[in-house]
Amino acid sequence: MKKKIQIFFSILIVLITIYIFTKYIVQHHQIISRLLKVNPLEIILIILLYGLIFISLYYLLKFMVEYFDIKIDKKDNLLLNAYSLLANFSFFGQAGPGIRAIYLRNKFKLTIKKFIFITLVYYSFYSIIAICFILFGSNLKLIWSILIILAVIGGNFVIIRWYLKRRQLDSQKHLLSIKSLVYIFLAALVQLAIQTIIYAIELESIGKFAIHQIVAYSGFADLALFASITPGGIGIREAFLVFSEKIHHIPTASIVLASLIDRSAYFIYLIILLIIVLLFHGFKRIKKLNLVNKNELEK
């Protein structure tokens, strides 16, 4: 029942987003003309940068499983990340982490609760970095910014300790691998830094904005991950950006246009990713058939 309610609201949010975007574009038809003026090379650059994010996700998963002394095959790592990204954009809610959790449980006997723990660690780093981005673009005094960051760090630590205690995991054992934690933090930082560059390219293609505006804009867009119940966070991210307009000071028209550019580029990127995955499985099947035929000929 809970799943059906989630799907209902997800579909509702997507439909409302499409309606609002369509209505806004009809009322501001100049958006289409501005969209057509976007340099195709910028779209290609955005797609390439999403490819770099994919590499950061590869290393992120590598460091996450190494925390439990697990070595994942490079090919499996790449395919698992590809499946996760495609699932996130194809299903309601965050389907990607679920796919990773099931694979790691079946392949390496890594329990779901351990995977959730290390995912919480990653999400903690992710949220801290996103909050820092937002504070960088705000007009808050330094002392308040420091206090907010400390509160976020403290809150994340409490949540992780609470989860460890609830799932009866040894907190000492699961918080000692500093090296792996540092690597996970760096992978998350690289991921969000590249994402910020992508947003900068999209925004700069339609107007002129200060660095602190773009960084704050990126921070709010990143935080939308935690409320993404729709495929690809459609409608959720846009709502976060519109409601936070008074902080990053990027107008709604620019948010709509930048979102259209980003969604279009990301959709092309996912198609390319899907084609690569299908080609991989196709070549793998052909190789298997050739091997079978060779063995039959030798007989």
Residue pLDDT, tens place only, 241-290: 988 998 999 998 888 889 889 988 999 999 999 998 888 876 666 555 44
**Do the Cβ atoms of 121 and 128 come closer than 8 Å?**
no
What mean pLDDT is reported for the chain?
82
Q: Which residues contact 192 (CB under 8 A, 6 or more apart)?
A: 126, 129, 130, 133, 218, 222
pLDDT score at 296:
44
User: Of 16-20, 123-127, 137-141, 182-186, which range is least confident?
Assistant: 16-20
Q: pLDDT above 90 covers what percent of the chain?
A: 35
How many Cβ atoms are within 10 Å of 121's Cβ, its own excluded? 22
pLDDT score at 167:
76
Q: Where are the domains of the chain?
A: 2-298
Q: Which long-range contacts (CB under 8 A, 24 or more apart) does 120-125 make?
A: 120/159, 120/160, 120/163, 121/160, 121/181, 121/184, 122/60, 122/64, 122/184, 122/188, 123/226, 124/156, 124/157, 124/159, 124/160, 125/184, 125/185, 125/188, 125/189
* Stretch 194-223: mean pLDDT: 93
pLDDT score at 176:
60
Residue pLDDT, tens place only, 203-212: 998 888 999 9
Is residue 160 pLDDT above 70, yes or no? yes
Is residue 294 pLDDT above 80, yes or no? no
pLDDT score at 227:
73
Is residue 291 pLDDT above 60, yes or no? no
pLDDT score at 280:
80
pLDDT score at 19:
63
pLDDT score at 174:
56
pLDDT score at 292:
41
Between these two residues, 290 and 228, which has the higher pLDDT value? Answer: 228
Positive or negative, the CA dihedral 60, 65, 70, 73 is negative
Distance of alpha carbon 298 from alpha carbon 293, whole angstroms: 9
Is residue 8 pLDDT above 50, yes or no? yes
Residue pLDDT, tens place only, 96-155: 788 888 989 998 888 898 899 999 999 999 999 999 999 988 878 888 888 989 999 899
Is residue 53 pLDDT above 90, yes or no? yes
How many Cβ atoms are within 10 Å of 50's Cβ, its own excluded? 21
Q: Packing angle between helix 252-298 and helix 178-204, nearest 10 degrees?
A: 120
